[in-house]
């Protein structure tokens, strides 16, 4: 693999039966986006050193690795509580106790109820914990003997684990996102003024996207709601961020040329929201007069999940605007 360090040109085992430490750890760094968190639990310092060496320049989907190291089963349990977002747990079996690693597996799955972290058992003493018995009785995702775990096999296991973790995380985020959309939609109906409804919609958009991104707050959301008036003029009647001080103003005097160009193109398009990297715009008819335009942006890029949830949400928003009382 081009973006990883090479120890040897051959397919030479990286890990051997445990025979003493050789020392040191290292950490990979992300080049774009938050790094994937990989935890290494092993009482052999040499295993930490070699694993870090192989993974130090590793990337998956443009993100590097943040390596977290521990040296016993007890430390593993503490670290997993501190780092519940760990993507992969590389776990030795025999440490301070013969089955210390298996105790960690049970603690993570049953005690912490963490079903998303991918657990890869690595052992230098396979006779202590036979593979078939362990895989059958414990919720692990891979089992490797250190004598067979070459650089290529380690990297393959990491890619497979990260891909699985990514998919499980997206499923969990989709579930939470759907629950959030249902909750905020219920709060929209019953509002009786365009401005109150628009303000609620802008706040709800921020809530939905933060939920999907797994964030607790966004200090800089920006958005506005504008109404079409005579002569094709758009008047801002609700705003967030910098647009909050522009209520009543002509949108053309406040918005960028890019936004106005999109407004012009949307006059001839359907009601579906239009998305760019980190902003969205939609246009829909009001209850009694003209059309409404809604624009929202934040600092997080909209992924496919966020866009599908917003499509669903904005369909309900359009209905809420059409049912506003006189």
Q: At what angle do helices 194-213 and 304-322 cross, to 10 degrees?
A: 160
Fold of 36-168: Rossmann fold (3.40.50)
- pLDDT values of the chain reduced to their tens digit, one per residue, 326 residues: 333 333 343 444 554 444 433 333 333 333 457 899 999 999 999 999 999 999 989 999 999 999 999 999 999 999 999 999 999 999 999 999 989 999 999 999 999 999 999 999 988 776 666 667 787 889 999 998 888 878 899 999 999 999 999 999 988 888 888 888 888 888 888 788 889 999 999 888 888 877 776 665 555 778 999 988 887 789 999 998 889 999 999 999 999 888 898 888 887 766 678 887 778 898 887 655 678 899 998 776 666 667 788 888 888 888 888 877 55
Fold of 189-322: Beta-Lactamase (3.30.450)
Which residues touch 51 (CB under 8 Å, ≥6 apart)?
A: 14, 40, 67, 90, 154
> Please, which contacts does 59-63 make with residues 24 or more away whose CB atoms are closer than 8 Å?
59/3, 59/30, 59/31, 60/36, 60/158, 60/159, 60/162, 60/163, 61/162, 61/166, 62/31, 62/32, 62/33, 63/30, 63/31, 63/32, 63/33, 63/34, 63/35, 63/36
Using the CB atoms, write b or e for 264-295: b if 16+ within 10 Å: eebeeeeeebebeeebbbbbbeeeeebbbbbb
Residue 124 pLDDT = 76
Helix (H, G, I), strand (E, B) or coil at 35: coil
**Where does the chain show beta strands of DSSP type E?**
36-41, 65-70, 88-92, 118-123, 142-145, 222-228, 234-240, 274-275, 279-285, 291-297
* Contact between residue 204 and residue 184 where contact means Cβ atoms under 8 Å apart: yes
Residue ranges of the domains in the chain?
Answer: 36-168, 189-322
What pTM does this model have?
0.68
């Amino acid at each position: 693999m081009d973006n990883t360090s090479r120890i040897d040109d051959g397919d030479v085992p990286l890990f051997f039966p445990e025979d003493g430490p050789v020392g040191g750890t290292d950490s990979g760094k992300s080049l774009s986006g938050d790094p994937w968190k990989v935890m290494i639990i092993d009482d052999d310092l040499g295993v930490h050193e070699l694993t870090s060496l192989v993974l130090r320049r590793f990337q998956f989907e443009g993100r590097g690795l943040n390596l977290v190291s521990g040296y016993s089963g007890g430390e593993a349990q503490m670290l997993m509580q501190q780092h519940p977002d760990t993507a992969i747990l590389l776990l030795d079996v025999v440490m301070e106790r013969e089955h210390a690693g298996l105790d960690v597996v049970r603690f993570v799955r049953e005690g912490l109820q963490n079903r998303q972290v991918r657990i890869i058992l690595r052992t230098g003493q396979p006779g202590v914990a036979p593979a078939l018995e362990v895989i059958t009785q414990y919720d692990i995702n891979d089992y490797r003997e250190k004598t067979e775990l070459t650089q290529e096999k380690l990297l393959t296991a990491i890619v497979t684990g990260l891909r699985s973790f990514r998919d499980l995380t997206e499923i969990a985020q989709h579930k939470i996102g759907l629950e959030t959309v249902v909750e905020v939609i219920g709060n929209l109906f019953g509002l009786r003024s365009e401005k109150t409804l628009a303000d609620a919609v802008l706040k709800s958009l921020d809530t939905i996207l933060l939920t999907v991104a797994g964030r607790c707050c966004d200090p800089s959301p920006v958005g506005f709601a504008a109404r079409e008036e005579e002569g094709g003029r758009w008047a801002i009647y609700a705003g967030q961020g910098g647009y909050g001080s522009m209520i009543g103003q002509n949108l053309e005097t406040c918005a960028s040329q890019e936004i106005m160009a999109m407004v012009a193109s949307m006059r001839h398009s359907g009601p579906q929201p239009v998305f760019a990297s980190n902003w969205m715009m939609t246009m829909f008819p009001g209850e009694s007069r003209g059309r409404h335009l809604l624009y929202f942006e934040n600092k997080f890029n909209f992924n496919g999940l966020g866009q599908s949830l917003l499509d669903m949400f904005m369909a309900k928003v359009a209905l809420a605007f059409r049912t506003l009382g006189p």
